[in-house]
Amino acid sequence: MTLKKLLSPKNDIIFKLIFGDSRNTDILTDFLRSVLTLPEQEYKKISLADPHLFRRHKQDKLGILDIRIDTSSGHAIDVEIQLKPFPGMENRIVWYNAKLHAGQLLRGDNYHTLKKAVSIVITDYVICSGDNTYHDVYYIMSPLTMRRFCDTIEIHTLELPKVQEEQSFPGEDREEKLKQWLRFFKAETTEEYEMLSRENPIIKRAVEIVITASGSRRLRYLYEQKEKARMDYHAGLRGAYDEGRVEGIKQGAEGKAFETAQKMKTAGIVIADIAAFTGLNPEEIEKLH
């Protein structure tokens, strides 16, 4: 590995390049297997779906997932990565899962046909302090009887800061593989990437994608602009929150996204790259002049 600085897979440009490309479904499947306990046949035919969540009315809020997957029998899976906390994050996760769940049914469909709606949220910050549980799972469940109300809603949180190098799970292959993947997201040095490549041949392929992307001027530009936009957004959000103007800064951030998209479109950058960078709907970008 000759590059001095490899791009991080935590950046959503690289994250989507690894897990959101139909040519890499074996990599995505390996990661999903490490997190979920779905029957093996569910992975025989996984497909990437449109990440834009269904809107019943034009005025409904638009939701765009990082990665959306359909399994062999139709279970819907959303994989997200979040680097910084922001107000309402937990509600956002629940809202995305609810939209993923409800969007399965069309007029006349029976409720019993609903499949699982699974959200996997990777965070580079601690959601729940006070314990070292880096992988947690949430269901709709009674606190009195611990009985699940249904099995079609499932939210997984993966908290990267809680992953410790000394943790090991002898004899527990799935947990050990999950830890390898979380170490991949946390990796910062070529030595860490090389070690993970030796431990897991599928992760080796993901590392190769990171290396190739790191050598691309276009991807490095998008990466750096995305990082700058993210830091500017959160700096502004912190200031606005202190002043009680959170909603205003969110609206300002949306306006900035359209402004950035306009400039990128004028510069000749393809719509797909602009959408990945700004989080805007490609249809909205097409309408910009």
- Domains of the chain by residue range: 12-215, 217-289
Residue 54 structure tokens: 């269904």
Q: What is the mean pLDDT of the chain?
A: 79
User: Which of 151, 166, 91 has its CA nearest to residue 121?
Assistant: 91
Contacts of 262 (CB under 8 A, 6+ apart): 288
Please give the share of the chain, as a percent, with pLDDT higher than 90. Answer: 35
Each residue of 30-43: pLDDT tens digit?
999 999 999 999 99
pLDDT at residue 59, rounded to an integer? 43
pLDDT at residue 257, rounded to an integer? 72
Each residue of 109-159: pLDDT tens digit?
788 888 899 999 999 999 888 888 999 999 999 999 999 998 899 999 999
Higher per-residue confidence, 155 vs 240:
155
Higher per-residue confidence, 92 vs 276:
92
* Least confident residue range of 11-15, 56-60, 83-87, 157-161: 56-60
Higher per-residue confidence, 48 vs 55:
48
pLDDT at residue 277, rounded to an integer? 65
Strand, helix or coil for residue 69 = strand
Rounded alpha-carbon distances, angstroms, from residue 266 to 227, 258, 281, 289 = 21, 12, 17, 8
Each residue of 250-286: pLDDT tens digit?
445 556 677 777 777 776 666 766 776 667 777 778 8
Residue 82 host element (H or E): strand 76-82
pLDDT at residue 167, rounded to an integer? 53
Neighbour-count burial of 11, counting CB atoms closer than 10 A to its CB (0-12 exposed, 13-18 middle, 19+ buried): buried
User: Which of 182, 140, 160, 139 has its CA nearest to residue 82?
Assistant: 160
* Least confident residue range of 88-97, 164-173, 181-190, 200-209: 164-173
Length of the chain: 289
Average pLDDT over residues 217-241: 64
